[in-house]
Homo-oligomer: A and B are copies of this chain.
């Protein structure tokens, strides 16, 4: 148990977020320093204040922080984002947390999705994908999800109400995607990069938008990803835009986004799918399993 210094807050982890990006952090420097073999394993957590040595925080409050895989941490107050009360608590890590917000800002700000657009989402059964699919439906789009098993695709159609869902492991993705998007693709919400991005590029409409949210196809590999065909040629020919983002780029609009997500949840337009695993010792297996596509919706580990 660490002892907080002046200006620090002693915290107890409640839920640890499991994110594919953690794997990318091990590959080298990204928007954060590389995660080396001797480092504390990085991970974001919803945590509870046990003891505060900073005037802005008091015991019992909830915060979100880059916490690391540990049960307790003493962190400087400026590293914490205070969270409201919420039932269930886990929603702060899913629909109202990075997953829901990433889906929201990716579609509305980066992708400029609007009613009538055809939106294609890869890793559609993943943490961000389950919200992106439902938000796109709520915006009035035709929504096609791509996932890695027939089971997931069935679930995406039946439980999330997507217009179509395609299993990329079953082959012939280009033909199936073309058939599922008879009017072409206006917005491609890309969580994977690689060959699926290449396929989507060929079906994009004039002035289409590609939302670059992640490149999970390249995270869990020892070898560099093969090059991508069609860039920049397809971008010039069809005047496409591709834009990368991370959710914190839009934190200036956080209140508005959370209010909209809350309204959709209340209306039943968004159902919150979570994949909660119990116990601190489950952390490594939870991440490895995520990278193998085990989860449906946001995976997290309940610590205490």
Contacts and interface: CB of A to CB of B under 8 A. Distances in A.
A182 interface: no
B31 A237 contact: yes
A239 interface: yes
Given A227-B228, A228-B228, A236-B215, A243 B246 contact: no
B218 A233 contact: yes
Contact of A242 (B197, B214, B229, B235): B235
A219 B244 CA distance: 27
Nearest to A235: B244
A22 interface: no
B249 A236 contact: no
Given A227-B226, A227-B227, A232 B239 contact: no
Interface of A: 30-31, 190, 193, 197, 210, 212-215, 218, 224-229, 231-246, 249
Contacts of A242: 231-232, 235, 241-243
B235 A214 contact: no
Given A241-B241, A244-B240, A212 B235 contact: yes
A1 to B, nearest CB: 36
A96 B303 CA distance: 65
Contacts of A245: 236, 239
A128 B31 CA distance: 34
A236 B213 CA distance: 6
A253 to B, nearest CB: 15
Contacts of A232: 190, 193, 197, 210, 212, 215, 228, 242, 244
Given A231-B231, A234-B244, A236-B244, 6 more contacts: A31-B237, A224-B229, A225-B229, A236-B245, A236-B246, A239-B249
A241 B243 contact: yes
Contacts of A193: 231-233
Contacts of A227: 226-229
Contact of A240 (B30, B225, B238, B243): B243
Contacts of A238: 31, 244
A140 B201 CA distance: 35
A224 B213 CA distance: 27
A210 B210 CA distance: 14
Query: Top 5 closest A-B pairs, CB basis?
Result: A227-B227, A235-B244, A236-B244, A241-B243, A212-B232
10 contacts: A193-B232, A213-B236, A215-B233, A227-B228, A232-B244, A234-B244, A237-B244, A239-B249, A240-B243, A241-B243
Nearest to A226: B227
